[in-house]
Each structure stands twice: as C-alpha cells, then as structure tokens.
Amino acid sequence: MRSLDLLDWDDLKVFLNAARGGSLAGAAKRLRVDQSTVSRRLAHLEAALGLALFERVPSGLRLSEAGQRLLGHAERAESAVIALREEVSPTSGQACGRVRIATMEGIASLYLAERFVGLRERFADLTVELVTSAQTVYVNRREADLFLSFFRPPGQGLVSEQVGRFRLGLYGAPAYLARAGMPQSLDDLRQHAFISYIDDLIQVDCVRWLDDVARERRTVFHSTSMIAQKQAAVGGLGLVLLPSFAVNGRDDLVPVLPALAATTRDLWLNVHTDLQFAPRIRAVVGFLTALFRADPSMQIGMQAGPAHCRRSLAEAMH
C-alpha cells in the first residue's frame, strides 16, 4: 500500500457513494457532479492505495475484496466527520436545518404531510424533506436521516423503536356493493373483484397485506400507488384493503366485514446511530413519537408496560 498521506477525504466520500449506489452514474447523481469526476476520484484513490477497489461488471460496479475492507474504514471516517460537523456547526445545540424522512407513499401523503404544521410551529428553523419510496430505504447508507417503516429493517448502525401499530380493513364503494352485493362471510370474497399492488413490483413484502384476508381472489386492478388503489375503489372498481389512516369521513367508502377482513402492521422509527443525538433529529423523533403515541388508531393492540420499561427512542436520545 502506498503512502497514506495521499489519501483525500473527498475521494473516500466518492468511494462510499459508488459502493452504496453500485455505479458511477448513481454516485455522480447523489454527489451532484459528472461521471468523469467520480471516475477520476476513484482512480486517484486506487492509485493512492495501490489497490483495485472495484470490479467493473455489466450492472455497474462491484466491490473487490480490498474494497470491502476499505468500506468499513471509510464508514467509520464518515461517522467521525458527521459527528464533527454536528458539534462545531454555528447552530450546534439548536434544532435547525434539514431532516430527510423516508417512508411509504400512503402514510406520507395521507397521514404525515398534513400534520407537519405542528412541527413547524415548534421548530421554525427546521425543514423537512419527506421522501416516499416503495422500497426499503437504508438509513445506514445515508439515503435518509430517518426511516419510518412497517417492519424493523435489518442492518447495523441503526437505533430502531416500534412507535405504533395500525389496522387495515376492507372497503368498497356503495356503487360497487350495490352491484356486487355486500359480502356476509370470508368465503363470499371469492366472488368479488379486488384492487391491489402489482405483485412483481412489490419491493417490501409487508405490503402484501391483502394475502392476510383474501388469498384466493380475483384482482381486476393493480397499482404501485396506495392512493391510486384507493381512488379506484372510490370509483367502484372493486374492494380494497386500506390502512385506517387512509380512510376518512370524506371518502365514499364502506367497511366490508370489519370484524373478519382485517389485519395490522407495525410502525418502526429508525435513525442512524451517528445522528441520534443531533438536535434536529431529536426534535423530529420526539415529534413523530408523540404524534403516534397520542393517536389511538396508531396504537392498536400496543401494550404499555410498567413506567420504568416505557423509555422511548426520543427519551433515550436526550
């Protein structure tokens, strides 16, 4: 290995983004530079180390054995830089700046978005970036600051806490039910039309929730969007399984077999260990945790343990 004096943090930053994205184009887009800059930086790093860090494959880049070893060191260096930035920032100790939250489209658009006014009223200098994704967002790869998920994500370097549980029920429009009839049993569902996700495009298995109540079904409309599914049901196309937060009094949807055709999913709030004590992150975690804990529809079947056991993620971060 050549002189470590030639190592450049900017080269390591490019290396991390290339390793996480698996391509020059992905790293360039994330860093907002052109591909030639990424390629040049990686070549400089490989020359400084005297090692080949990537293998070029048809799909893009694949870490070599040496690249795998470097990745752990680079991530620790990144953690140190992030901690340093948070501590020496002129706004250190203040809840200000940007916080990127990633979650599924339905809960982002139909629940969270209209409630962020409460966060704004308390922390006027905070800016939220709400990312809607149909797949797992990796906080440990710096794709977001916080990930609100319907499952506990795998991976190291995360602080995760279950902050809620919501119910999903079956719904249909009055026009559809007048035409097809109101089901009286689970067996009756075999005679009905359903609306669901596009099976081969599902990236997160926990949204296969319709399987919980109607495995044998005739699906007439598929969409990657929960909102599109809901609107198709409102239009009378068929029955749809929706979270309680997706349906309100303004929707022309009727519950179908509410005591039988229902299931639940958990809510997990996940933050990278490097960011858990940052004031801006603590502010948003505290807001979201309190929001879900105060909403009975988000606490279905959640058991509150003894006081000394109910230490939340927000409390642990203080």
CA distance 130 to 134: 13
Q: Express the helix, strand and coil content of the chain in percent, nearest 5 each.
A: 45, 20, 35
- Fold assignment, 166-264: D-Maltodextrin-Binding Protein; domain 2 (3.40.190)
Every domain of the chain and the residues it spans: 4-88, 97-162+267-316, 166-264
Per-residue pLDDT for 316 more than 50?
A: no
Per-residue pLDDT for 6 more than 70?
A: no
Per-residue pLDDT for 304 more than 50?
A: yes
Instruction: Report the percent of the chain where pLDDT is more than 70.
Output: 86
Q: Does domain 4-88 have CATH number 3.40.190.10?
A: no
How much is the average pLDDT of 284-312? 76
The pLDDT value recorded for residue 248 is 81
The pLDDT value recorded for residue 92 is 55
- DSSP H stretches of helix in 113-170: 117-122
Backbone angles phi, psi at 209, to 5 degrees: -70, -25
How much is the average pLDDT of 15-19? 86
> Using one digit for the tens of pLDDT, what is the confidence trace for 133-163?
766 666 556 778 899 999 988 777 788 999 9
- Tokens representing 47 are 């020359």
The pLDDT value recorded for residue 12 is 87
Query: Which residues contact residue 123 at a Cβ distance below 8 angstroms, ignoring those fewer than 6 apart?
Result: 95, 96, 283
Domains 97-162+267-316 and 166-264 share a fold: yes
Largest CA-CA distance found in the chain, in angstroms, rounded: 77
Report the alpha-carbon angle 158-90-140, nearest 5: 15
Residue 63: Cβ-neighbour burial (10 angstroms; 0-12, 13-18, 19+): middle
**Do 139 and 273 form a contact (C-beta atoms < 8 A)?**
no
How much is the average pLDDT of 160-188? 96
Closest by CA to 270, choosing from 167, 163, 117, 113, is 163
Query: Which residues contact residue 53 at a Cβ distance below 8 angstroms, ignoring those fewer than 6 apart?
Result: 15, 42, 45, 46, 63, 64, 66, 67, 70
- Tokens representing 113 are 């978005």
CA distance 60 to 199: 27
- Tokens representing 246 are 């997706």
CA distance 52 to 46: 6
| pLDDT classification of 318: cutoffs 50, 70, 90 | very low
| pLDDT classification of 308: cutoffs 50, 70, 90 | very low
Task: Provide the mean pLDDT of the chain.
Answer: 86
Question: Of 5 and 108, which is predicted with more confidence?
Answer: 108
Question: Of 314 and 109, which is predicted with more confidence?
Answer: 109
The pLDDT value recorded for residue 229 is 97
**Distance from chain centroid for Cα 36:** 31
The pLDDT value recorded for residue 306 is 38
DSSP element (H, E) containing 15: helix 9-21
> Using one digit for the tens of pLDDT, what is the confidence trace for 211-232?
999 999 999 999 999 999 999 9
**Do 111 and 245 form a contact (C-beta atoms < 8 A)?**
yes
| pLDDT classification of 292: cutoffs 50, 70, 90 | very high
Residue 272: Cβ-neighbour burial (10 angstroms; 0-12, 13-18, 19+): buried
- Fold assignment, 97-162+267-316: D-Maltodextrin-Binding Protein; domain 2 (3.40.190)
Question: Of 273 and 114, which is predicted with more confidence?
Answer: 114
Q: Which of 169-173, 176-180, 268-272 has the lowest mean pLDDT?
A: 268-272
3-state secondary structure 162-219: EEEEEEEEEEECHHHHHHHCCCCCCHHHHHCEEEECCHHHCCCHHHCHHHHCCCCCEE
Per-residue pLDDT for 111 more than 50?
A: yes
> Using one digit for the tens of pLDDT, what is the confidence trace for 31-85?
889 999 999 999 989 888 888 998 988 888 989 998 888 888 887 777 777 666 6
> Using one digit for the tens of pLDDT, what is the confidence trace for 271-288?
988 888 888 899 999 999
